[in-house]
């Protein structure tokens, strides 16, 4: 089957850079072959900058509200917000009439797409899958964890997780009951709804029980902005005899830790390459600290020996794609779950933001720069090459277009 004359709608729930960058990557891979349409609210426009995509304005929760609710453990969306989302989603599908819709974290689209008879392909991470073998076992950086300490709070978190997950499902399940649909059994069913579910991971990072035919490991989707290298780049690459570290806390990391991270790296004599994602003013006070708002992340990771990030899958997988070990400074649960897989594969070190004392940072930096982490990162780099995400996406898209009939909402 050919993609020509097909309209593929990509929907980005723009609450973080990752949820915009991943569908933008996939949409860009189809340019010249079909009519990709990109629906978002314009937030994180840098992710689709330079791509000649037809656009559709679709409102999303603001990243600030999203992060505030995550930080205190509240359900991310209110019932009124979800009702409005369903209406907006159905209106969009009626107006655009796509052949297939590809969604990243637009959690109401399983309802709207089924009603409008449009096949839905959903992007997610396998650590949220209902088929993931490991349940969450480490707490994110919630206020109780900062009060009690993670060592005390982690077992309480494990005990309370079933209740907490039901709490986060309470609002979407109220919506489903209103819509005449059965409630969902788990957060995994909520985050991984769709006719085709695509995991932006590889199997060794997230071990799963046998997956049904509609669930697939797509492979990492790593995005890097198309930017010129900064004027200081040659000064960094010339220092090959010294350890170089790329520090990028992204759109959702704890930026207040950036000065401490740089200080800890400089105490070891490392050269620091820093990207702030435009979230803070950070002036380089030392000659071996090089700072930009944004950098071509793949090139920066390749130039470094170690990558420090927020632990989320886009940043940590970008490092592993270059064979670089990762120190993940995690704040929310998504970051903890992503970084857990990297840690378990021996390719990185996981710290919660509240655990970053000078002593813990120093210990983590020594560990992550060691031979074991480096060798395991190179091993994962080889696995990543066996999962070319855009090519696998094209194969799944052609298969979905050939089937042509979405399953019912369940």
Would you say residue 285 has pLDDT above 70?
A: no
SS3 content of the chain, % helix, strand, coil (to 5): 45, 15, 40
Give the integer Cα–Cα distance in Å for 390 and 375: 26
196-249 pLDDT, tens digit per residue, is 999 999 999 999 999 999 999 999 999 988 888 999 999 998 988 999 999 999
Determine what percent of the chain is predicted with pLDDT higher than 70. 97
pLDDT score for 1: 66
44-64 pLDDT, tens digit per residue, is 998 998 899 999 999 999 999
pLDDT score for 5: 87
Q: What is the largest CA-CA distance in the chain?
A: 64
Task: Give kind and range of the element (H or E) at residue 39.
Answer: strand 35-40
Would you say residue 405 has pLDDT above 60?
A: no
Query: Where is pLDDT greater, at 272 or 239?
Result: 272
Calculate helix-pair angle for 17-29, 313-321, nearest 10 degrees: 50
Give the integer Cα–Cα distance in Å for 196 and 235: 46
346-386 pLDDT, tens digit per residue, is 999 999 999 999 999 999 999 999 999 999 999 999 999 99
pLDDT score for 410: 37
pLDDT score for 282: 74
How confident is the prediction for the chain on average, in pLDDT?
93
301: Cβ contacts below 8 Å, ≥ 6 apart: 246, 307, 318, 319, 321, 322, 324
**Given pLDDT bands bounded at 50, 70 and 90, which one contains residue 4?**
confident
Burial of 41 (0-12, 13-18, 19+ CB in 10 A): middle
161-193 pLDDT, tens digit per residue, is 999 999 999 999 999 999 999 999 999 999 999
Give the integer Cα–Cα distance in Å for 115 and 14: 23
How confident is the model over 248-253, as a mean pLDDT?
80
Determine what percent of the chain is predicted with pLDDT higher than 90. 82
Would you say residue 409 has pLDDT above 50?
A: no
pLDDT score for 404: 55
Residue 149 — φ and ψ, nearest 5°? 90, 145
- For residue 132, give the 3-state DSSP assignment: strand
Query: Where is pLDDT greater, at 388 or 287?
Result: 388
**Given pLDDT bands bounded at 50, 70 and 90, which one contains residue 408?**
very low
Strand residues in 266-391 grouped as ranges (E): 271-275, 289-292, 306-309, 326-330, 348-352
Edge-to-edge strand order for the sheet containing 348-352? Answer: 289-292, 271-275, 244-248, 306-309, 326-330, 348-352
Would you say residue 160 has pLDDT above 90?
A: yes
Q: In terms of Cα–Cα distance, which of 389, 398, 405, 408 is closest to 198?
A: 389
Provide the residue count of the chain: 410
SS3 track for 146-192: HHHCHHHHHHHHHHHHHHHHHHHHHHHHHHHHHCCCCCCCCHHHHHC
């Amino acid at each position: 089957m050919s993609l020509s004359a097909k309209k593929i709608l990509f929907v980005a729930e723009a609450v973080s850079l990752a949820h915009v960058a991943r569908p933008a990557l996939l949409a860009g891979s189809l340019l010249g072959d079909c009519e990709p349409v990109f629906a978002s609210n314009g937030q994180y426009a840098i992710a689709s900058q330079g791509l000649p995509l037809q656009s559709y304005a679709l409102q999303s929760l603001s990243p600030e509200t999203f992060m505030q609710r995550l930080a205190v453990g509240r359900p991310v969306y209110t019932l009124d917000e979800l009702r409005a989302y369903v209406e907006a989603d159905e209106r969009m599908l009626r107006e655009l009439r796509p052949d297939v819709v590809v969604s990243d974290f637009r959690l109401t689209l399983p309802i709207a797409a089924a009603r409008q008879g449009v096949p839905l392909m959903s992007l997610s991470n396998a650590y949220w899958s209902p088929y993931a073998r490991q349940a969450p076992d480490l707490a994110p950086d919630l206020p109780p964890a900062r009060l009690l300490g993670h060592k005390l709070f982690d077992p309480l978190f494990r005990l309370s997780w079933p209740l907490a997950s039901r709490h986060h499902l309470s609002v979407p399940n109220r919506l489903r009951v209103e819509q005449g649909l059965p409630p969902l059994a788990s957060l995994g069913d909520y985050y991984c709804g769709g006719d085709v579910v695509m995991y932006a991971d590889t199997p060794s990072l997230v071990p799963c029980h046998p997956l049904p035919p509609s669930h697939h490991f797509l492979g990492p989707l790593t995005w890097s902005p198309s930017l010129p290298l900064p004027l200081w780049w040659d000064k960094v690459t010339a220092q090959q005899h010294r350890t170089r570290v790329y520090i990028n806390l992204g759109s959702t990391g704890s930026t207040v830790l950036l000065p401490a991270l740089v200080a800890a790296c400089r105490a070891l004599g490392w050269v620091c390459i820093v990207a702030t994602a435009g979230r803070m003013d950070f002036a380089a006070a030392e000659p071996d600290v090089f700072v930009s708002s944004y950098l071509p992340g793949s090139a920066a990771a390749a130039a470094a020996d170690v990558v420090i990030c927020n632990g989320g899958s886009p940043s940590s997988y970008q490092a592993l794609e270059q064979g670089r070990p990762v120190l993940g400074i995690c704040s929310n649960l998504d970051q903890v779950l992503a970084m857990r897989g990297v840690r378990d594969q021996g390719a990185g070190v996981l710290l919660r933001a509240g655990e970053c004392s000078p002593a813990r940072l120093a210990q983590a930096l020594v560990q992550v720069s060691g031979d074991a982490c480096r060798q395991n990162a190179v091993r994962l780099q080889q696995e990543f090459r066996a999962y070319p995400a855009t090519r696998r996406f094209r194969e799944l898209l052609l298969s979905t277009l050939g089937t042509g009939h979405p399953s019912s909402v369940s």
